[in-house]
Structure 1
Amino acid sequence: MKLSVLGPAGTFTDAAAKAYLKTQPGTTVTLDYHPTFDQVYQAVCRDNLGLLPLENQLDGYVSATLQRLQTADVTEIGEVTIPVNFGLVANVANLNQIKRIYVQFKTEGQCQNLLSQLPSVQIMTTSSNMISLEKFQTGEIGDAAIVPQSEMSGLQFPLMKNHVADQDDNNTRFIIFKNQPANLDELSKQPLDTNHFKAPLFVTPSFNDQPGTLYEILGYFAKAKLNLITLMSLPTKTELGVYSFYIEVSGTRDQQEEIFATLTELASLYHVHLLGFYAV
């Protein structure tokens, strides 16, 4: 079995994958690196497992992951959260000598305090933190990069600043998923090996231009006393003004029957795209 992740090796996704595999003793899995979200997803379509970042503590949800989950026929089977922090490297002696800085698209939102000190610097967005480092190392005088703090110990440059994220307490949550549509009936019979579960899903009304639509959807969960830990809206891309609601429900083993009864009732009125049901 292969676990497809965003590469190259050394990224936080790579670290999350290794952390997840430690929770799966006795399982033989090879890490399969890809440079883009689409390539990870396509690899999962070829029956690999996949792992992608879902949520960062400082910068919120990763839209590139949510957009793929919105229509993907996959089942989330678990998640893993790891601490993340960053350092700055530059081939000049002072911040005011930096002309260009390489930074991964999600890292940028987590290091705003640093970047606000560099208002005239050209920000070069990359797809991964390790690519930021590679671009910097082959760049020109005046270049800099924000890289994983874990990579700083092996580097030596004129300017190096540790822990440049906006706060030291910073974590990213990753999901693990497989190429199989999540089935309500099958998942309702799935035993939990811990007392708590999480159930992610999209709910799409047939039309949004009606007062109280979201209120009615949320009312089903409130009536069942099910806790929602996430609520977001995403465009369906079919036409302007039409949105899906991304919801994550959490609960205990005693609420397993209630969550599936609620989802079955919702599915009779709205399009419900369940993404999984797993222990946390």
Structure 2
Amino acid sequence: MTRIAVLTEGSVSHEAVNYLLGDQPSELVHYQQITEVFRSTDSGNTDYSVIPIENTIDGSVSLHMDWLIHEVDIAMQAEWIYPSVQNLIGHRNEFLNKAGDLDLSKVTKVMSHPVALPQCQQFISEHMPHADLESTGSTAEAVKIVKRNPGKGWTAIGTRLGAATHELDILADRITDHHNNFTRFVLIGHHPLELQRKPKGNRTSVLITLPEDFPGALHQVLSAFAWRRLNLSRIESRPTKKQLGNYYFYIEVMESLESVLLTAAFAEIEALKCQVRILGSYPSYAYDDALNSYRKIGKSGGILNG
């Protein structure tokens, strides 16, 4: 059976890979740290790893991109989009008033990943301005801590799957400040993975390193794509970590590597004495809310008193 490395149970990564695979059989192997997820597939302990690389609000996940480029040599085999929906989670009976309604003034602490906390700042300021905020290694870890500490008025910001995994209550759903908060994930491995779903298209990720810093170098590289009418969905410069001021360009092209136009563009770029490294050519899957079993209620967001 296919083994897939992913972050802790109940994390957004866990929800996301469940969504991608659907009913397709596989064994998920959970790790606390993203470095362990990378190393698992790099060492051969798992066949694939689930890596979040981009977010609507926070942009590129630089640490994860650097690992893909500098630390491991594992190809991207698929990409998909998944909503980063955060919820307030806790022991519901701790926060009920005499009328039996939810009273968030009883919350003493809110815990979550340091990225998730600021994404929910408006909700926290409106409903729990008095509560202490505490960062944890992941949203799933925060939920686990709350589970183990009943009676203290502690809550966690995390996923619906995280609440279900640890048998806790969702006190308020969809509490992120921006409801268009999506995360882009890639599945990395040494071989393509056949999925039952139909992709919306294909994407190729490539690293291009210029031979030297000379006027018009980037323009010449981009021209190789432009005149062939190849659509670039992303271009980002990152340090090579060799010397100050030395950068490579991470570029994504909305085309399969099987395209004659794309391979010709790479040949032209290499003729300019640039280094071209293919990070992966893979199917791209769009998000379909109808396929997601973890978002059944509360689409408008808010406190759940029912």
Same topology, TM > 0.5: yes
Gaps of 5+ in 1: 183-192
Deviating more after overlay: 261-270 vs 119-128: 119-128
Q: Which amino acid aligns with 2:116?
A: T
Alignment match, 2:287:
none
Q: 1:129 and 1:108 mapped to 2: Cα distance? A: 9
Q: 1:156 and 1:17 mapped to 2: Cα distance? A: 23
Q: In the alignment, is residue 104 of structure 1 matched against residue 104 of structure 2?
A: no
CA 1:88 to 1:196, structure 2 compared with 1: closer, same or farther past 3 Å? closer
Q: 1:202 and 1:53 mapped to 2: Cα distance? A: 18
Q: 1:204 and 1:119 mapped to 2: Cα distance? A: 48
Q: 1:109 and 1:198 mapped to 2: Cα distance? A: 31
Relative to the length of structure 2, the TM-score reads: 0.73
CA 1:256 to 1:239, structure 2 compared with 1: closer, same or farther past 3 Å? same
Counterpart mapping for 1:1-280 below 5 A: 1-7=2-8, 9-22=9-22, 25=24, 28-47=25-44, 48-71=47-70, 72-89=72-89, 100-115=109-124, 122-139=132-149, 141=152, 143-152=154-163, 154-156=167-169, 160-179=171-190, 196-208=201-213, 210-251=214-255, 256-268=259-271, 269-280=273-284
Whether the 8 Å CA contact 2:143–2:162 is kept in 1: the answer is no
CA drift of 1:244 comes to 2.0
SS state at 2:57 partner: coil
Q: Which amino acid aligns with 2:84?
A: V
CA drift of 1:35 comes to 1.1
CA drift of 1:165 comes to 0.8
Whether the 8 Å CA contact 1:59–1:110 is kept in 2: the answer is no
Whether the 8 Å CA contact 2:79–2:186 is kept in 1: the answer is yes
CA drift of 1:198 comes to 0.3
Q: 2:118 and 2:225 mapped to 1: Cα distance? A: 32
SS state at 2:233 partner: strand
Q: Which amino acid aligns with 1:266?
A: I
Q: Which amino acid aligns with 1:226?
A: L
CA drift of 1:150 comes to 4.4
Q: Which amino acid aligns with 1:133?
A: V
SS state at 1:237 partner: coil
Q: 1:238 and 1:96 mapped to 2: Cα distance? A: 52
SS state at 1:38 partner: helix
CA drift of 1:133 comes to 0.9
CA 1:224 to 1:165, structure 2 compared with 1: closer, same or farther past 3 Å? same
CA 1:220 to 1:82, structure 2 compared with 1: closer, same or farther past 3 Å? same
CA 1:245 to 1:109, structure 2 compared with 1: closer, same or farther past 3 Å? farther
Between the two proteins, the alignment pairs up a number of residues equal to 261
Whether the 8 Å CA contact 1:87–1:164 is kept in 2: the answer is yes
CA drift of 1:146 comes to 0.9
Q: Please report the RMSD computed on the Cα atoms of aligned residues, expressed in angstroms.
A: 3.1
CA drift of 1:102 comes to 1.7
Q: Which amino acid aligns with 1:178?
A: G
SS state at 2:280 partner: coil
Q: 1:66 and 1:234 mapped to 2: Cα distance? A: 9
Q: 1:116 and 1:242 mapped to 2: Cα distance? A: 43
Relative to the length of structure 1, the TM-score reads: 0.79
Q: 1:112 and 1:273 mapped to 2: Cα distance? A: 40
Whether the 8 Å CA contact 2:11–2:162 is kept in 1: the answer is no
CA drift of 1:170 comes to 2.8
